[in-house]
Amino acid sequence: MTTQALKIGFVGLGIMGTPMAGHLIQAGHSLFVFTLAKMPESIASSSATQCASARAVAESADIVFTMVPDTPDVEAALFGPAGVAAGLSQGKIVVDMSSISPIATKVFAQKINALGCEYLDAPVSGGEVGAKNATLSIMVGGSEATFERIKPLFELMGKNITLVGGNGDGQTAKVANQIIVALTIEAVGEALLFASKAGADPARVRQALMGGFASSKILEVHGERMVKRTFDPGFRIELHQKDLNLALSSARALGVSLPNTATAQELFNSCVAHGGKAWDHSAMVRALEKLANFEIGQKP
C-alpha cells in the first residue's frame, strides 16, 4: 500500500476501468478521470475530478492509466488531438492496462519515451470479478525502475503482478493468456456437452471434475455459467475475438501455427453470427451446442 497520496489520471471507465479506478480512489489518491461513455455513477459521486479530455487528465496527473477496448482506441486516447501525449510533461508515467497489439505497444512506448516520459504496458486478466475484487493478474512490460514505482498502485488492483520484460512483453503475455483461456473454455464446453448428451447430470460432472487434474478456474466459473445458462458478461465475446485476432496475426508474422486458437476463433465467429457478440465468452459453448443440435442440461 502506498502511504503518500498521488495525482493519478485514469482514461477509460468501462466494465473493467470503473472498479480499478475505484480502488485507487478508495486508497486516498487524487484521481483525474475521462471517459468517452457516460461517467459511471460510482465515479461521478466520488472525490475524482472529471476532466474534459485525456489531455486535461495528463496535464493534471503525474501518472496516467488508460483502460480502453482495442489498439486504435489506445492510439486515439494517447495521440489524438486532445490525447494524453498532448498533456504530458517530462518525467510523467503512462500505464496502458488495455489488451492490445504487442507490436503497436512498442511504437507507442517509443513515442512516449521521446517526450521524456516512461511507459508501461500492463494488461490484466481476471475479468469484471477480478477488477471488482482487486484480484487481477497484471502482466507488465517496461523498465524495472518504473515498474517498482508503480507496483504499489498495481497492488491496489491485483494480486499476481509480474514484470515480464521490456515494453510489449506484457501484451505478449496477455495474448498467451487469452489463447489458454479460449482453448480451455472450448475444452470445458466439449466435456460438459458430451457428458450431458450421454445422460449424466452436467452439474454433478462438473463437481466431480473440480476435484481432479481437470480442475481449473474456467471449469469452476465458466462451467457453472454453461450449466446455469448465465451468459451475461463478464467478458464479451467480441473482446476475446479481438484478442485472438492479435494472437493469430502475430503468429502469422512470427511464422507460428496456432491451429486450435484458429478453431476457437471460428467458434466465437459462429456465436457472433447468431447475435452473440455481447455474450460472455463462456457462451462459446453455444456454437458447440449448435453443431451437436443439443444444449447442456437438455434431456437426451
What SS3 state is found at 216?
coil
Q: Tell me: pLDDT of 101 over 50.
A: yes
For residue 53, what is the enclosing H or E element?
none
* Active-site residue, 174 included: yes
Q: Tell me: pLDDT of 233 over 90.
A: no
Confidence of residue 78 (pLDDT cuts 50, 70, 90): very high
Per-residue model confidence as pLDDT tens digits over 104-132? 999 999 999 999 999 999 999 988 889 99
In whole angstroms, give the CA distance from residue 18 to residue 63: 17
Average pLDDT over residues 14-24: 97
Strand partners, 236: 280
Q: Taking a C-beta distance cutoff of 8 angstroms, is the pair 145, 119 a contact?
A: no
In whole angstroms, give the CA distance from residue 101 to residue 293: 37
Q: Is the peptide bond before 17 cis (omega within 30 degrees of 0)?
A: no
Place of cell 483525474: 32
Q: What angle do CA 207, 213, 216 make, to 5 degrees?
A: 65
Q: Tell me: pLDDT of 229 over 90.
A: yes
Q: Taking a C-beta distance cutoff of 8 angstroms, is the pair 140, 162 a contact?
A: yes
Q: Tell me: pLDDT of 50 over 80.
A: yes
For residue 83, what is the enclosing H or E element?
none
Compute the chain's Rg from CA coordinates: 20
DSSP 279: S
Q: Residue 2's pLDDT is what?
A: 45
Q: Which three cell numbers, joined as nine digits, stand for 65?
A: 492509466
Confidence of residue 1 (pLDDT cuts 50, 70, 90): very low
Q: Which three cell numbers, joined as nine digits, stand for 79?
A: 495521440
Q: Tell me: pLDDT of 248 over 60.
A: yes
Which regions of the chain does DSSP assign to beta strands (E)?
A: 7-11, 30-34, 49-50, 63-66, 93-96, 118-121, 124-125, 136-141, 158-165
**Reduced 3-state DSSP string for 125-145:** ECHHHHHHHCCEEEEEECCHH
Average pLDDT over residues 36-47: 96
Confidence of residue 3 (pLDDT cuts 50, 70, 90): low
Q: Taking a C-beta distance cutoff of 8 angstroms, is the pair 175, 205 a contact?
A: no
Q: Residue 91's pLDDT is what?
A: 98
Half-sphere exposure of 104 (CA within 13 A, CB side): 16
Phi and psi at residue 177, to the nearest 5°: -60, -45
Confidence of residue 300 (pLDDT cuts 50, 70, 90): confident
Q: Tell me: pLDDT of 14 over 80.
A: yes
Average pLDDT over residues 156-178: 97
pLDDT, greater one: 233 or 82: 82
Place of cell 488495455: 98
Mean pLDDT of the chain: 96
- Whose CA is closest to 32, among 17, 21, 40? 21
Average pLDDT over residues 223-233: 96
Q: Taking a C-beta distance cutoff of 8 angstroms, is the pair 240, 282 a contact?
A: no
Name the active-site residue from 132, 151, 174, 277.
174
The total of other beta-carbon atoms located within 10 Å of residue 191's CB is 18
List Cβ neighbours of 41 (8 Å cut-off, separation of 6 or more).
none
